[in-house]
Amino acid sequence: RLRLHDGKLIKDRRYHLRTYPNCFVAKELTDWLIDHKEAPDRETGIRLMQKLMDHYIIHHVCDEHSDYKDAKLLYRFRKDDGTFPLSKDVKVFMRGQSLYEKLVSVEESILKVREENSVKYQRTFLGCEMIDWLVQEGEAENRTEAVELGRALLEHGIIQHVSNRHHFFDSDILYQFRINFRRRCRLTELLNENSSRTLSESPDSPFCLRKLNPDPGNTSFLSVQTNKEIKIVSAVRRSSITSLAGNSNAYFSTTPTLVFPPVAECNPKSVLKRPVTNEELLSPGAPYVKKTLTIVGDAVGWGFVVRGGRPCHIQAVDPGGPAAAAGMKVCQFVFSVNGMYVLHLDYQTISSLIMTGPRTLVMEVMEAIE
Protein backbone atom coordinates (compact mmCIF):
# COMPACT_ATOMS: atom_id res chain seq x y z
CA ARG A 1 0.00 0.00 0.00
CA LEU A 2 2.74 2.45 0.92
CA ARG A 3 4.70 1.61 -2.23
CA LEU A 4 1.61 2.25 -4.33
CA HIS A 5 1.17 5.63 -2.66
CA ASP A 6 4.82 6.49 -3.38
CA GLY A 7 4.43 5.39 -7.00
CA LYS A 8 1.30 7.56 -7.41
CA LEU A 9 -0.83 4.55 -8.36
CA ILE A 10 -3.04 5.43 -5.43
CA LYS A 11 -4.51 8.89 -5.89
CA ASP A 12 -7.77 10.80 -6.13
CA ARG A 13 -9.61 9.84 -9.31
CA ARG A 14 -12.68 11.27 -10.99
CA TYR A 15 -15.37 9.10 -12.56
CA HIS A 16 -18.88 10.12 -13.71
CA LEU A 17 -18.58 13.61 -12.18
CA ARG A 18 -17.59 12.17 -8.81
CA THR A 19 -14.17 12.17 -7.17
CA TYR A 20 -13.00 9.01 -5.37
CA PRO A 21 -10.06 9.72 -3.04
CA ASN A 22 -7.08 7.38 -2.54
CA CYS A 23 -8.02 4.71 -5.06
CA PHE A 24 -6.31 2.70 -7.79
CA VAL A 25 -7.30 1.19 -11.12
CA ALA A 26 -7.32 -2.62 -10.99
CA LYS A 27 -5.80 -3.08 -14.45
CA GLU A 28 -2.97 -0.63 -13.66
CA LEU A 29 -2.25 -2.42 -10.40
CA THR A 30 -2.03 -5.80 -12.14
CA ASP A 31 0.49 -4.25 -14.55
CA TRP A 32 2.44 -2.89 -11.59
CA LEU A 33 2.56 -6.29 -9.84
CA ILE A 34 4.10 -7.88 -12.93
CA ASP A 35 6.53 -4.99 -13.60
CA HIS A 36 7.78 -5.10 -10.00
CA LYS A 37 8.01 -8.92 -9.98
CA GLU A 38 5.40 -9.27 -7.27
CA ALA A 39 3.46 -11.61 -9.58
CA PRO A 40 4.75 -13.70 -12.52
CA ASP A 41 1.60 -13.24 -14.61
CA ARG A 42 -1.82 -11.59 -14.63
CA GLU A 43 -3.63 -14.65 -13.33
CA THR A 44 -1.42 -14.77 -10.22
CA GLY A 45 -1.81 -11.02 -9.74
CA ILE A 46 -5.59 -11.36 -9.81
CA ARG A 47 -5.45 -14.21 -7.26
CA LEU A 48 -3.25 -12.10 -4.99
CA MET A 49 -5.62 -9.14 -5.05
CA GLN A 50 -8.59 -11.44 -4.49
CA LYS A 51 -6.81 -12.73 -1.40
CA LEU A 52 -6.57 -9.16 -0.12
CA MET A 53 -10.26 -8.65 -0.81
CA ASP A 54 -11.14 -11.85 1.03
CA HIS A 55 -9.23 -10.55 4.05
CA TYR A 56 -11.00 -7.16 3.96
CA ILE A 57 -7.83 -5.28 3.05
CA ILE A 58 -9.07 -3.81 -0.24
CA HIS A 59 -12.56 -3.34 -1.72
CA HIS A 60 -14.35 -1.84 -4.68
CA VAL A 61 -14.94 1.88 -4.05
CA CYS A 62 -18.72 1.43 -4.29
CA ASP A 63 -18.76 -2.18 -3.05
CA GLU A 64 -20.50 -3.18 -6.27
CA HIS A 65 -18.06 -6.03 -6.94
CA SER A 66 -17.22 -8.70 -4.39
CA ASP A 67 -14.40 -10.05 -6.52
CA TYR A 68 -11.29 -8.46 -8.03
CA LYS A 69 -11.64 -7.81 -11.77
CA ASP A 70 -8.63 -7.07 -13.97
CA ALA A 71 -10.38 -4.10 -15.58
CA LYS A 72 -10.70 -0.32 -15.41
CA LEU A 73 -12.49 -0.47 -12.07
CA LEU A 74 -11.60 1.54 -8.98
CA TYR A 75 -10.57 -0.19 -5.77
CA ARG A 76 -9.28 1.17 -2.49
CA PHE A 77 -7.36 0.01 0.57
CA ARG A 78 -9.67 -0.02 3.57
CA LYS A 79 -6.99 1.68 5.66
CA ASP A 80 -7.30 4.66 3.30
CA ASP A 81 -11.03 5.15 3.84
CA GLY A 82 -11.38 4.09 7.48
CA THR A 83 -13.34 0.90 6.78
CA PHE A 84 -10.62 -1.54 7.84
CA PRO A 85 -12.22 -3.77 10.51
CA LEU A 86 -10.34 -3.23 13.77
CA SER A 87 -11.36 -6.36 15.63
CA LYS A 88 -9.79 -7.27 18.96
CA ASP A 89 -7.39 -9.66 17.22
CA VAL A 90 -6.24 -6.97 14.78
CA LYS A 91 -5.80 -4.42 17.57
CA VAL A 92 -3.65 -6.81 19.61
CA PHE A 93 -1.58 -7.68 16.53
CA MET A 94 -0.99 -3.99 15.71
CA ARG A 95 -0.11 -3.27 19.34
CA GLY A 96 2.42 -6.10 19.28
CA GLN A 97 3.93 -4.77 16.06
CA SER A 98 4.21 -1.27 17.55
CA LEU A 99 5.93 -2.56 20.70
CA TYR A 100 8.31 -4.73 18.68
CA GLU A 101 9.36 -1.80 16.47
CA LYS A 102 9.90 0.37 19.53
CA LEU A 103 11.98 -2.28 21.29
CA VAL A 104 14.29 -3.08 18.37
CA SER A 105 14.85 0.60 17.56
CA VAL A 106 16.47 1.61 20.86
CA GLU A 107 20.16 1.08 21.62
CA GLU A 108 19.81 -0.36 25.13
CA SER A 109 16.94 -2.67 24.31
CA ILE A 110 15.70 -5.30 26.75
CA LEU A 111 15.67 -7.73 23.81
CA LYS A 112 18.88 -9.73 24.16
CA VAL A 113 20.43 -13.10 23.43
CA ARG A 114 19.91 -15.25 26.52
CA GLU A 115 20.46 -18.87 27.40
CA GLU A 116 18.15 -21.33 29.11
CA ASN A 117 18.93 -25.01 29.61
CA SER A 118 22.07 -24.65 27.44
CA VAL A 119 20.04 -23.28 24.51
CA LYS A 120 20.54 -19.73 23.23
CA TYR A 121 17.49 -17.72 22.19
CA GLN A 122 17.55 -14.51 20.15
CA ARG A 123 15.77 -11.29 21.16
CA THR A 124 14.43 -12.53 24.47
CA PHE A 125 13.22 -10.63 27.52
CA LEU A 126 12.31 -11.40 31.11
CA GLY A 127 8.67 -10.95 32.06
CA CYS A 128 9.51 -8.50 34.85
CA GLU A 129 11.77 -6.51 32.49
CA MET A 130 8.96 -6.15 30.00
CA ILE A 131 6.62 -4.99 32.77
CA ASP A 132 9.18 -2.38 33.90
CA TRP A 133 9.64 -1.16 30.33
CA LEU A 134 5.90 -0.94 29.55
CA VAL A 135 5.24 1.16 32.66
CA GLN A 136 8.35 3.32 32.14
CA GLU A 137 7.46 4.06 28.50
CA GLY A 138 3.84 4.85 29.30
CA GLU A 139 2.57 1.82 27.37
CA ALA A 140 0.72 0.76 30.54
CA GLU A 141 -0.40 2.76 33.54
CA ASN A 142 0.62 0.18 36.12
CA ARG A 143 2.04 -3.31 36.47
CA THR A 144 -1.38 -4.97 36.53
CA GLU A 145 -2.30 -3.39 33.19
CA ALA A 146 1.10 -4.36 31.80
CA VAL A 147 0.57 -8.00 32.79
CA GLU A 148 -2.83 -7.99 31.06
CA LEU A 149 -1.18 -6.63 27.90
CA GLY A 150 1.53 -9.30 28.04
CA ARG A 151 -1.06 -12.02 28.47
CA ALA A 152 -3.04 -10.74 25.48
CA LEU A 153 0.12 -10.76 23.36
CA LEU A 154 0.87 -14.34 24.39
CA GLU A 155 -2.68 -15.57 23.83
CA HIS A 156 -2.62 -14.13 20.32
CA GLY A 157 0.65 -15.88 19.46
CA ILE A 158 2.81 -12.73 19.32
CA ILE A 159 5.07 -13.61 22.24
CA GLN A 160 5.71 -16.92 23.96
CA HIS A 161 7.63 -18.52 26.78
CA VAL A 162 10.80 -19.85 25.14
CA SER A 163 9.81 -23.45 25.79
CA ASN A 164 6.02 -22.93 25.81
CA ARG A 165 5.58 -23.94 29.42
CA HIS A 166 4.23 -20.77 31.02
CA HIS A 167 1.70 -18.03 30.49
CA PHE A 168 2.91 -14.44 30.91
CA PHE A 169 3.89 -13.46 34.45
CA ASP A 170 5.60 -10.54 36.18
CA SER A 171 8.68 -12.63 37.00
CA ASP A 172 12.13 -13.60 35.71
CA ILE A 173 10.66 -16.15 33.26
CA LEU A 174 12.17 -15.90 29.75
CA TYR A 175 9.99 -14.94 26.77
CA GLN A 176 10.56 -14.05 23.12
CA PHE A 177 8.64 -12.59 20.19
CA ARG A 178 7.28 -15.29 17.89
CA ILE A 179 6.86 -12.91 14.95
CA ASN A 180 9.62 -11.03 13.18
CA PHE A 181 7.59 -7.98 12.19
CA ARG A 182 10.50 -6.53 10.23
CA ARG A 183 10.67 -9.37 7.77
CA ARG A 184 9.31 -8.19 4.44
CA CYS A 185 7.04 -10.83 2.93
CA ARG A 186 6.46 -11.22 -0.78
CA LEU A 187 2.85 -11.09 -1.86
CA THR A 188 3.09 -14.50 -3.51
CA GLU A 189 3.58 -16.04 -0.04
CA LEU A 190 -0.13 -15.37 0.54
CA LEU A 191 -0.97 -18.04 -2.00
CA ASN A 192 1.04 -20.65 -0.10
CA GLU A 193 -0.98 -20.22 3.08
CA ASN A 194 -2.84 -23.32 4.14
CA SER A 195 -4.55 -21.69 7.11
CA SER A 196 -7.69 -21.37 5.00
CA ARG A 197 -7.91 -25.15 4.70
CA THR A 198 -11.27 -26.32 5.98
CA LEU A 199 -12.12 -29.48 7.83
CA SER A 200 -14.40 -30.51 4.98
CA GLU A 201 -11.26 -30.98 2.87
CA SER A 202 -9.81 -33.27 5.51
CA PRO A 203 -12.73 -34.86 7.38
CA ASP A 204 -10.51 -37.46 9.01
CA SER A 205 -8.49 -34.91 10.97
CA PRO A 206 -9.27 -35.79 14.60
CA PHE A 207 -7.51 -33.07 16.56
CA CYS A 208 -8.72 -29.50 16.97
CA LEU A 209 -5.28 -27.96 16.53
CA ARG A 210 -4.42 -24.38 15.67
CA LYS A 211 -1.53 -24.33 13.22
CA LEU A 212 0.45 -21.37 14.49
CA ASN A 213 3.31 -21.70 12.02
CA PRO A 214 2.33 -21.29 8.33
CA ASP A 215 5.82 -22.15 7.10
CA PRO A 216 7.31 -25.65 6.94
CA GLY A 217 10.17 -26.56 9.19
CA ASN A 218 10.82 -26.80 12.90
CA THR A 219 10.58 -23.27 14.19
CA SER A 220 8.97 -21.62 17.15
CA PHE A 221 9.68 -18.13 15.74
CA LEU A 222 7.17 -17.25 13.05
CA SER A 223 8.34 -15.72 9.78
CA VAL A 224 11.98 -15.62 10.83
CA GLN A 225 14.55 -15.47 8.07
CA THR A 226 17.28 -18.06 7.88
CA ASN A 227 20.21 -16.90 9.98
CA LYS A 228 23.23 -19.00 10.89
CA GLU A 229 23.57 -17.17 14.19
CA ILE A 230 20.08 -18.12 15.32
CA LYS A 231 19.55 -21.47 16.95
CA ILE A 232 15.87 -22.25 16.69
CA VAL A 233 14.39 -24.91 18.90
CA SER A 234 11.10 -26.52 18.00
CA ALA A 235 8.64 -26.57 20.86
CA VAL A 236 7.48 -30.17 21.24
CA ARG A 237 5.66 -32.04 23.93
CA ARG A 238 4.16 -35.44 24.51
CA SER A 239 0.89 -36.00 22.69
CA SER A 240 -1.71 -38.74 22.74
CA ILE A 241 -1.85 -38.76 18.95
CA THR A 242 1.29 -40.90 18.86
CA SER A 243 -0.13 -43.62 21.06
CA LEU A 244 -3.52 -43.46 19.35
CA ALA A 245 -1.90 -43.94 15.97
CA GLY A 246 0.39 -46.69 17.21
CA ASN A 247 3.53 -44.61 16.70
CA SER A 248 6.47 -45.63 18.85
CA ASN A 249 7.89 -42.10 18.80
CA ALA A 250 6.52 -40.30 21.84
CA TYR A 251 7.20 -36.81 20.51
CA PHE A 252 6.31 -34.80 17.45
CA SER A 253 9.42 -34.61 15.30
CA THR A 254 8.05 -31.87 13.07
CA THR A 255 5.72 -28.94 13.38
CA PRO A 256 2.21 -30.42 13.70
CA THR A 257 -0.33 -29.68 10.98
CA LEU A 258 -4.05 -30.14 10.71
CA VAL A 259 -3.60 -33.45 8.90
CA PHE A 260 -3.28 -36.61 10.95
CA PRO A 261 -3.68 -40.33 10.18
CA PRO A 262 -7.20 -41.40 9.20
CA VAL A 263 -9.69 -41.66 12.02
CA ALA A 264 -9.98 -45.42 11.54
CA GLU A 265 -6.39 -45.71 12.74
CA CYS A 266 -6.71 -43.18 15.57
CA ASN A 267 -10.15 -43.71 17.06
CA PRO A 268 -11.71 -46.94 15.73
CA LYS A 269 -14.92 -46.56 17.74
CA SER A 270 -16.72 -44.11 19.97
CA VAL A 271 -15.76 -43.93 23.64
CA LEU A 272 -19.45 -43.59 24.56
CA LYS A 273 -20.99 -46.72 26.04
CA ARG A 274 -24.31 -45.86 24.38
CA PRO A 275 -25.78 -43.06 22.22
CA VAL A 276 -27.11 -40.02 24.11
CA THR A 277 -29.67 -37.58 22.69
CA ASN A 278 -30.04 -33.84 23.32
CA GLU A 279 -33.43 -34.47 24.89
CA GLU A 280 -31.83 -36.81 27.40
CA LEU A 281 -29.11 -34.30 28.25
CA LEU A 282 -31.53 -31.41 28.75
CA SER A 283 -34.40 -33.20 30.45
CA PRO A 284 -35.20 -32.05 34.03
CA GLY A 285 -33.36 -34.07 36.63
CA ALA A 286 -30.99 -35.63 34.11
CA PRO A 287 -27.79 -37.00 35.73
CA TYR A 288 -25.53 -34.46 34.03
CA VAL A 289 -23.73 -31.38 35.35
CA LYS A 290 -22.57 -28.46 33.24
CA LYS A 291 -18.97 -27.24 33.58
CA THR A 292 -17.16 -24.25 32.05
CA LEU A 293 -13.60 -24.86 30.82
CA THR A 294 -11.14 -22.12 29.80
CA ILE A 295 -8.39 -23.59 27.62
CA VAL A 296 -5.37 -21.56 26.48
CA GLY A 297 -3.90 -23.20 23.38
CA ASP A 298 -0.15 -23.75 23.28
CA ALA A 299 2.25 -24.10 20.34
CA VAL A 300 0.77 -27.50 19.47
CA GLY A 301 -2.88 -26.64 19.94
CA TRP A 302 -5.52 -27.46 22.54
CA GLY A 303 -5.03 -31.22 22.67
CA PHE A 304 -8.40 -32.92 22.41
CA VAL A 305 -10.62 -34.80 19.96
CA VAL A 306 -14.24 -33.92 19.16
CA ARG A 307 -16.44 -36.59 17.61
CA GLY A 308 -20.08 -37.38 16.98
CA GLY A 309 -22.89 -34.92 16.43
CA ARG A 310 -26.11 -33.63 17.96
CA PRO A 311 -24.61 -33.80 20.56
CA CYS A 312 -20.83 -34.00 20.04
CA HIS A 313 -18.64 -35.58 22.66
CA ILE A 314 -14.98 -35.52 23.69
CA GLN A 315 -13.42 -38.60 22.16
CA ALA A 316 -9.85 -38.23 23.48
CA VAL A 317 -7.79 -35.82 25.57
CA ASP A 318 -4.02 -35.36 25.42
CA PRO A 319 -2.96 -35.97 29.07
CA GLY A 320 -0.12 -33.43 28.74
CA GLY A 321 -2.11 -30.77 26.89
CA PRO A 322 -3.98 -27.58 27.80
CA ALA A 323 -7.43 -29.23 27.64
CA ALA A 324 -6.49 -31.83 30.26
CA ALA A 325 -5.05 -29.11 32.47
CA ALA A 326 -8.37 -27.23 32.24
CA GLY A 327 -10.32 -30.30 33.40
CA MET A 328 -11.53 -31.76 30.11
CA LYS A 329 -12.34 -35.49 30.14
CA VAL A 330 -13.46 -38.06 27.60
CA CYS A 331 -17.22 -38.64 27.26
CA GLN A 332 -18.08 -35.03 28.14
CA PHE A 333 -20.65 -33.47 25.78
CA VAL A 334 -19.97 -30.11 24.13
CA PHE A 335 -22.70 -27.63 25.10
CA SER A 336 -21.22 -24.33 23.88
CA VAL A 337 -18.07 -22.94 22.24
CA ASN A 338 -17.06 -19.35 23.02
CA GLY A 339 -20.64 -18.56 24.06
CA MET A 340 -22.28 -20.24 21.04
CA TYR A 341 -24.79 -23.04 21.69
CA VAL A 342 -23.61 -26.10 19.71
CA LEU A 343 -25.60 -29.13 20.86
CA HIS A 344 -27.31 -29.23 17.45
CA LEU A 345 -24.05 -29.18 15.42
CA ASP A 346 -21.79 -31.95 14.09
CA TYR A 347 -18.13 -32.36 15.03
CA GLN A 348 -16.78 -30.88 11.78
CA THR A 349 -18.67 -27.63 12.38
CA ILE A 350 -17.67 -27.45 16.03
CA SER A 351 -14.02 -28.16 15.22
CA SER A 352 -14.09 -25.41 12.60
CA LEU A 353 -15.53 -22.96 15.16
CA ILE A 354 -12.73 -23.83 17.55
CA MET A 355 -9.91 -23.49 15.01
CA THR A 356 -11.14 -20.18 13.60
CA GLY A 357 -11.82 -18.70 17.03
CA PRO A 358 -9.48 -17.11 19.59
CA ARG A 359 -6.57 -18.98 21.05
CA THR A 360 -8.18 -18.82 24.49
CA LEU A 361 -11.10 -21.22 24.18
CA VAL A 362 -14.10 -21.12 26.51
CA MET A 363 -16.20 -24.29 26.37
CA GLU A 364 -19.22 -25.45 28.32
CA VAL A 365 -19.41 -29.21 28.63
CA MET A 366 -21.92 -31.57 30.19
CA GLU A 367 -20.53 -34.38 32.29
CA ALA A 368 -22.28 -37.41 33.69
CA ILE A 369 -22.69 -37.39 37.46
CA GLU A 370 -20.87 -40.37 38.90
**Tens digit of each residue's pLDDT (9 = 90 or more) over 116-145:** 888 888 889 999 999 999 999 999 999 999
In this structure, which CATH number among 1.10.357.10, 3.90.1150.10, 1.20.1260.10, 2.30.42.10 belongs to the domain 278-368? Answer: 2.30.42.10
Domain ranges of the chain: 11-77, 88-177, 278-368
Q: Hey, do 11-77 and 88-177 end up sharing a CATH topology, with the first three levels equal?
A: yes
**pLDDT per residue as tens digits for the range 64-96:** 888 999 999 999 998 888 888 777 888 888 899
- pLDDT surpassing 90 at residue 35: yes
- Determine the pLDDT at residue 248: 32
Element of type H or E holding 56: none
* CATH class of the region 88-177: mainly alpha
- pLDDT bin (cut points 50, 70, 90) of residue 299 is low
DSSP string, 152-191: HHHHTTSEEETTS-----SSS-EEEESB-TTPPPPGGGGG
CA angle 284, 290, 293 (to 5 degrees): 170
pLDDT digits (tens, 9 = 90+) for 241-277: 333 333 333 323 333 332 333 333 334 478 898 999 9
Say which CATH topology domain 11-77 has: Arc Repressor Mutant, subunit A (1.10.10)
